[in-house]
Amino acid sequence: MIGFVFPGQGTVRVGMGAWLRRDPVGGAVVRRADELLPEPIGPLCARGPLPRLVDTAYAQPAVTACNLAALSVLRDRGHRPDVVAGHSVGELSALCAAGVLDIDTTIRLVGARSRLMAELAESGAMVSVLGLPVERVEHLTAQASAPGEPLVVGLENAADQIVVSGSVRAIDRFTTAATGEARKIVSLKVSNAFHSPLMVGAVDGWAEVVRATVVRPPEIPVIPNVTAEPTTDLPTIVDALIEQLTGRVRWARTMRVLSDVDHCVEVGDSKALTGMLRTEGVRCVSMSAPTSLRTLAETAGT
């Protein structure tokens, strides 16, 4: 049993997807993304500049183009998943892998998602908190929140790696309270507070786009971020995709579900999810290098 996992926005870097763009199958997907998006993403992945690439409007299409290129390469080599999950915006790629969306639709959706989120006023921030359990982080975020200054757990990446998301002032209060308890608190280089109530301004537009999109029942189970429960129920998947904009990414729970598979493949140019899964004892092969295909073939043969 094999799981495909798809990385999210935080994995972008200049030069990403280089070998995938050189591959005939992967390169065709990136060129298709260039045709469908308002601005070509391939040259930006290759050469930057980094400040533009990490901007939400471009980062989400960039990582999705690389994810879909890697997915197409895997399909071309005969690899198929039994279950899929995606981290944050990576969930769109996972839905493509499950047959809910085709490649063109996935590209168009990520273009709409990134635009809606990028158009919001830059009023929030995110910090990664290491060394505290989620229950303690939840308590501290509740204390730091105030009317008009929300703060929530945005992502549970691992048992002791939590991302807090919300108002800048609330994050300042949280940081003051958590310093000394947490092993480390790191500010993330993001333009806003993703997976928090500060994204609510994009929800109606996103819901309209998603519900107008032609979708198909999944061919295999999908693990949505906001539930971390495998499902093949299409209405549940669609609702979760909409809720994800403001909802929590429950990746730690997702990894526990994936612990039942024989191995996973991180489908994209990233090793972030591979590292997280290995801490949970899950074997994972990253598609970040062309040698991954040989490694995957050897792993699948064991």
- Give 174-210 as a DSSP string: HHHHHBTTBSEEEE---SS-TTSGGGGGGHHHHHHHH
Q: Cα(212)–Cα(174) distance, rounded to whole angstroms?
A: 39
Nearest to 240 by CA among 102, 117, 87, 91: 91
Instruction: Report the amino acid identity of residue 292.
Output: S
2-6 and 124-130 as β-strands: parallel, antiparallel, unpaired? unpaired
Question: Choosing from 72, 87, 88, 93, which is the catalytic residue?
Answer: 88
Establish whether 288 is a catalytic residue: no
Question: Choosing from 93, 114, 195, 196, which is the catalytic residue?
Answer: 195
Give the count of alpha carbons within 13 A of 289, CB side only. Answer: 6
Q: Cα(30)–Cα(65) distance, rounded to whole angstroms?
A: 6
Q: Cα(110)–Cα(120) distance, rounded to whole angstroms?
A: 16
Nearest to 59 by CA among 242, 185, 189, 250: 189
Establish whether 79 is a catalytic residue: no
Q: Residue 75: enclosing H or E segment and its boundaries?
A: helix 56-76
Known catalytic residues are 88, 195
